[in-house]
Amino acid sequence: MEESSRDGVGSRRESGQVLVFVAIVLAAVIGLSAFVIDLGYAYYTQRSLQASADAAALAGAQQLPDPAASVATAQQYGTGALGKNASGKIGKVDEVVSTRCLVSVPGCNPVNAVSVQETGHVNTFFVRFFGIDTLNVHVRSTACSPCGVKPLDIMLVLDRTGSMCQDSSGRSDPACTDLNNAKAGIRTFINYLDPQLDWVGLDVLPPASGGSCTTPSSANYNSASSPYVIVPLSHDYKNKDGSLNASSSLVSTLSCVKGGGTTAYANAIESAQAELDAHGRPTVPNVIVFLSDGAANTGPTYYSTKSPYRTQPCHQGVWSADSEKAKGTIIYTIGYALGDDTGGCNSYTGADELPAITVYEAMTAMASAPGNFYDKPSPGQLNTIYTQIASDLQHGASALINDNAP
């Protein structure tokens, strides 16, 4: 009988230990479940805030480069007290909206990016029993505009005439400083483009004869088979890390282009458009960026001596540009040290064009709008102008970017 009594006591002790163990396990399971539920809700809140911050940043970027308008618009689309996306389910949200300059994208005048930071204070349901009343959730989103997010088909027209290898007094400049400045500007321009979206080709005047890298002459104009387009539309001009691809046709050909010959606008513009028509994408906007340092003063001899291509080369340049603009092509023109061209718009025969037209008037009229004509009155770097054109082309195009972008 005594042994049975001792066995009963042992069983009761073991049962008590099991109950304590079960209670501990249940408490742990309940606590873990509480954390899972509250953390799940915090995750939901984080995703909601991130979506709101993204929407706010993109909306604010549409108002750039106006800092005040950008901040006000972002606040309207955020989850803060002023926002359309404010939600009572999330609780109190602190929001900070700021603008800044990103050196990696064009058009920072005065700002080109807007950042939205939101912090949500999530009330807990279960873990408050463990002394945690709220969980703080932080999100951040940054959008830029412009930032190379519009698909474009672009033909760059480069005047590589002999005057691009002369100084302002007309003396020979073996270093071809002006031509190299133009090349540098073009490199700056394509550096702001996205090869996955933007296709770019290179067109030159005078046209090529004997290879793209040979020194051109005025005689090149007289052969209908001499190509103006020396690089067709391409999209391999950048490496995966964003640097220019020196082995691509566009970058390598641009580097080897030499100067020589006289100036004719019309056929260069027409050939650029022909490349856009032949190899451009149907739903993508067409763009021509045309640079010249002087007036058109010659024309191909395979035209009649009475042809306006020869008798009125400046006017014909305008008329050819008008034809391309009528197709919807956007044309930018850059006048480079035009004041150095003392001859102005004279025809092939040397007589003044009628009605009278100046080189400034011709270059302005060739552009899609007066604001699309950029004047660089004295020799120097063209990077700023090409950056401004890249910015204008992408105006209103916003995109979310890495917050660590420089």
Q: What is the pLDDT of residue 11?
A: 54
Query: Which two structure tokens, joined as six digits, stand for 32?
Result: 């873990």
Q: What is the pLDDT of residue 1?
A: 45
Q: How far apart are CA 137 and CA 135, in angstroms?
A: 6
Let me know how long the chain is: 406
Q: What is the pLDDT of residue 237?
A: 97
Q: What is the pTM of this model?
A: 0.74
Q: Which residue in the block uniquely carries the two structure tokens 């009628």?
A: 354
Q: How far apart are CA 261 and CA 279, in angstroms?
A: 29
Averaged pLDDT, groups of 10, the chain, 406 residues long: 51 55 54 57 75 87 88 85 56 86 77 89 63 75 81 97 93 96 96 92 96 95 97 96 94 97 97 98 97 95 94 96 98 95 77 86 96 92 91 79 70
Return the axis-axis angle of helices 2-61 and 67-77, rounded to nearest 10°.
140
- From residue 306, give the alpha-carbon distance in Å to each of 226, 302, 357: 22, 11, 19
- From residue 255, give the alpha-carbon distance in Å to each of 99, 183, 187, 212, 250: 37, 7, 10, 11, 9
Query: Which two structure tokens, joined as six digits, stand for 155?
Result: 């033909």
